[in-house]
Structure 1
Amino acid sequence: MSELAANVGHDLKQKSLIIFDWDGTLMDSIGLIVKSMHIAGEANGFYTTDEEVKSIIGLSLIRGIQTLYPQATAEQHLAIQQSYADYYIHASTLPNQPHSQFFEGIEAMLQQLRVQEKLLAVATGKKRAGLDRVMDYSQSRHYFASSRCADESGSKPNPQMLQDILQETGYKVADAVFVGDSIHDIRMANQLNMTSIAVNYGAANGQVLSAESPTYQVDTPSQLVKLLTAD
């Protein structure tokens, strides 16, 4: 984990806008994404590994499918996308499942950050319909002042969704920090020279994320909570 020295904490205290990725950063949904992609690919005659699926998490769904299955036709890509959506939407509404819940301590962190008058936002590879659905299901929409999705601003690591959030909220890059769990998240933030926090508990492991040079790095949700909410 990157050092959490006093000057590090001071730097983050100055950030007024905290932008989060969703899957694997706030919500424990990586397992469902991997399973859904396996089911969708195999239903259409294609196979891949868990690690290969994790490597495309953060991209838009169709771009991820194109990356995973370059040998497939455009029609097959669309069929895989539909199979994925059918399974994921059904499974994501099942009650009391990890994939429909925040990581432990995350919702309390969001509440505390709001008390500290931080502005919160989401930048995700989900489509708008998918983010709206999961926000409503988790009753978390009220925490976030702004959000952008891949079908509105382009797929990560294109930084357009971060630029859109900055424009909407009126903040500058220097005012913001982005928190994510994939290489695509960190590459997106780096394109704007935005402060970033890589979380090692989601799609990518710590070594892979470290190679992308995030500003800070944490191993667990509790470490993220401590880093962002320290007085």
Structure 2
Amino acid sequence: MSQLATTKVPAKTCQLADQHHLADKTLIIFDWDGTLMDSIGLIVESMHIAGKAHGFTTTDKAVKDIIGLSLMKGIELLYPQASAEQKLLIQQSYADYYIANSQRTPFFAPIENMLQTLQQQNRRLAVATGKKRKGLDRVLDASDSHHYFVMTRCADEAGSKPDPQMLTDILQCTEQQVSDAVFIGDSIYDIQMANSLGMTSIAVNYGTASSDELAAQQPTYQVDTPQALAELLCA
């Protein structure tokens, strides 16, 4: 089996080849929704509300499958029969509902303690997200978490996942190499993005995609819970 094949570790075990040893990673890049923040339920609810407001319906699974993409790209995939004007209206209805209810999206426990520990270990932390800049800044403000991250990159600044431009921008800004970094995400697009650069990846099974869907993308590591992620990264 390739060293890059999925290694589903019981969190405290970190025994892969040296180039994948997480203790050596100086740059840790996170997806946001479904990885750091418990927001998947609200995203699904918001998309249903927005679609129905303009005469369209979809399924929970279909919405989860587009999480990680930019919002408009997701809407185009969910509602291909909608006109350009309708897609813009769905986007606005989604944003209105999500913003009005965003107090319902806390960090997963124990994510904030994990971020604090990683900072204390002198790791550099960053975010690469399918959110727009305005949306990410809003949740960073609401969660008082700007200070954890040396850089954040959004889909409206560098293209929608799995385009790796967000990751390459972060590497360039932080003057780090691919071998210095690990990317953590909950969608197949996250793992595809990391794989396109040959970057070490951690797939988390508690977000959008199923364990089997993520395993098929061959992440370097795969964990079931936020606690397991924290133990793996902070070991």
Above 0.5 in TM-score?
Answer: yes
Structure 1 position 3, deviation (Å): 3.2
Aligned to 2:172: 167
Query: What is the aligned partner in structure 1 of residue 15 from structure 2?
Result: 7
Q: Alpha-carbon deviation of 1:9?
A: 8.9
SS of structure 2 residue aligned to 1:85: helix
Aligned identity (percent) is 66
Whether 1:31 and 2:36 are equivalent positions in the alignment is no
Q: SS at the partner of 1:8?
A: coil
Question: Structure 1, unaligned stretches of length 5 or more?
Answer: none
TM-score, normalised relative to structure 2:
0.93
Tell me whether 1:181 sits opposite 2:191 in the alignment.
no
Q: Secondary structure at the match of 1:120?
A: strand
Identify the residue that residue 76 of structure 2 maps to in structure 1: 66
- Describe the superposition over 1:132-175 as per-residue Cα deviations: whole angstroms up to 9, x where unpaired: 00001000000000010000000000000000000000000000
CA contact (8 A) 1:9 1:227 kept: no
CA-CA distance at 1:71 after TM superposition: 1.2
Work out the number of aligned pairs and report it.
225
SS in 2 for 1:122: strand
Q: Secondary structure at the match of 2:15?
A: helix
Indicate if the aligned counterparts of 1:156 and 1:184 stay in contact, CA closer than 8 A.
yes
Between 1:159-168 and 1:7-16, the stretch displaced more is 7-16
Give 1:21's aligned residue: 31
Instruction: State the Cα distance separating 1:85 from its structure 2 match.
Output: 0.5
* 2:47 match: secondary structure: helix
In 2 relative to 1, CA 172–50 (structure 1 residues): closer, same or farther, beyond 3 Å?
same
Matches within 5 A, 1:104-115: 104-115=109-120
Match of 1:151 in 2: 156
Q: Return the alpha-carbon distance in structure 2 between the equivalents of residues 34 and 60 of structure 1.
A: 14
After TM superposition, the runs of 4+ consecutive aligned structure 1 residues lying more than 2 A away are 3-10
Which residues in structure 2 correspond to 1:44-123 (within 5 Å)? Answer: 44-92=54-102, 94=103, 97=104, 99=105, 101-123=106-128
Q: TM-score, normalised by structure 1?
A: 0.95
Q: What secondary structure, in the 3-state scheme, does the structure 2 residue paired with 1:197 have?
A: strand
Q: Which amino acid aligns with 2:16?
A: V
State the distance in 1 between where 2:50 and 2:205 align: 26
* CA distance in structure 1 between the aligned counterparts of 2:210 and 2:34, rounded to whole angstroms: 11
Distance in 1 separating the partners of 2:231 and 2:72:
35
How far the C-alpha of 1:7 sits from its partner, in A, is 2.5
Q: Is the 8 A contact 1:25 1:199 kept in 2?
A: yes
CA distance in 2: counterparts of 1:81 and 1:41, whole angstroms: 9
**Structure-1 separation of matches of 2:32 and 2:69:** 12
In structure 2, the gaps of 5 or more residues are 1-6
| 191, 196, 207: which one aligns with 2:201 | 196
**Highest RCO, 1 vs 2 (Cα 8 Å, sep ≥ 6):** 2
> Taking structure 1 as reference, are residues 78 and 147 closer, same or farther at Cα in structure 2, changes over 3 Å only?
same
Deviation at 1:6, TM superposition (A): 4.4
Name the Cα RMSD after superposition.
1.2
After superposition, the C-alpha distances for 1:77-122 in whole angstroms (9 at most, x for unaligned) are 1110011011011111x3xx3x1x1001100000000000000000
Q: Aligned residue for 2:3?
A: none
Residue in 2 that maps onto 1:227? 232
Partner Cα distance (2:113, 2:226) in 1? 11
SS in 1 for 2:108: coil
Contact 2:27 2:123 in 1 (8 A): yes
